[in-house]
Structure 1
């Protein structure tokens, strides 16, 4: 058996998330079908994280084991031929047997993209070529306030206030040595204006269910003046989901990259 590491990029719009579900199109299920088509083996690839319905990936890392002896270049080419255009395999690499896309990861980076409809004093129109991959936000937003709020979540905190109920968490906790708590470490958290978009990038040791989208929804409340930037610290301390803002739409979220120990 050979353990493979693969990096995928995909448009999450056509899929009901990463995790395989009976009767529904998912990224994991579609990749499993492509692997069986190419190798004849029935395997369930493991992702670094379970992206939700409509969430995209620029660098989702996947691991799987195959008995078939096949050069990496041939596997890469064959998988891209077998997969729909909404999923592309960027690389495949043989790894040591102990490698696991989720268990071996040490940090992840996500990006959230907002198209501010009201900016520079005018009502802007979002192109249909862009709309499936951004949140078209109808409120005027103050970038500086959002940046100040984003800095409040740096470091290690209990992120219960920003976590949705995760029905699959009990299963995941059962096969990991990580403590089943909501403490996560955020290494970077910042907003930037790029090509007419407001872009939030966050890197952390891990993320809870809907955590990034709930952070973005809260930061937007700050940007539109509903709450002060420093109030984010009180939301963290409350450890109640009801204390934070609404969940931002899935279509603006991208899993950018996953890092592993050297």
Structure 2
């Protein structure tokens, strides 16, 4: 059996998330069907994480084992022919025994993109193009980038992020597979905002992320950027270890899985 690692980019708009679901189009299910079409083997590719409905990926990683001796270059080319254009295989690598896309990961990076066309409360701002709308949060609130950055610095380091975690339907499975999921403690190494191509872009890198953690942080940061919360409220929200202490969940469409490190 040869272990394969593939790096994927996908538009999450047409899919009901990563994880395979009966009767629904998912990234994992579509990839499994493409592998079966190319090789004749039935496998379930394991992703580095289970992105939600509407979440996109620039650098998702999946792994699976095959019995056939297909060369990596041929597998790469054939998978892209078999997959819809909303999913592209960027790289294919043969790995040694023991590699697993999720269990072997040490850090992940995400981006969240906000379209901030509303210049001033009560005024008509720049209209978000329908070509851009599926990939950003068209936020109706005027946001202060300085306040957003102040809020973002408070999550750097190791904290219990329970306040930013949604109820995870797969938690029991995750805890059985990876014991660290039994707690809400994670380490964040990078947390910063920048203005790029007319968008406010949040970048975050960490040891791992809880269910909806980035989207819940984002909803809270936006409350700060809109002047509804103080940046200094973030430590108190973390200390509360209660989802009710934090802000709303930001829409999935602005979130991108950018990179997984091993």
The bucket for the TM-score relative to the shorter chain is over 0.9
Match of 2:86 in 1: 86
TM-score, with structure 1 as normaliser: 0.98
Q: Which residue is 1:215 aligned to? A: 217
Match of 1:19 in 2: 19
Q: Quote the residue 1:103 is aligned against.
A: 103
Deviation of 1:12 after TM superposition, in Å, equals 0.3
SS in 2 for 1:132: helix
How far, CA to CA, are the matches of 2:139 and 2:239 in structure 1?
A: 28
For 1:227, the equivalent position in structure 2 comes to 229
SS at match of 1:119: coil
Distance across 2 between alignment mates of 1:209 and 1:231: 22
In structure 1, distance between residues paired with 2:178 and 2:127: 46
- Structure 1 partner of 2:202: 200
Structure-2 change in CA distance of 1:179 and 1:123 (3 Å): closer
| 3-state SS, counterpart of residue 118 of structure 1 | coil
Can you list the C-alpha shifts for 1:128-187, whole angstroms capped at 9, x where unaligned? 111110000011000000100000000000000000000101112112243610000000
Following the alignment from structure 1 to structure 2, what is the Cα–Cα distance between the partners of residues 65 and 101?
Answer: 12
Mapped pair 1:58 → 2:58: yes
- Number of residue-to-residue matches in the alignment: 260
Dislocated runs of 4+, deviation >3 Å = none
Q: Structure 1 stretches of 5 or more lacking a match?
A: none
Asked whether 1:161 is paired with 2:163, we answer yes
* 5+ long unaligned stretches in structure 2: none
Tell me how far apart the structure 1 counterparts of residues 246 and 183 of structure 2 sit (CA, whole Å): 19
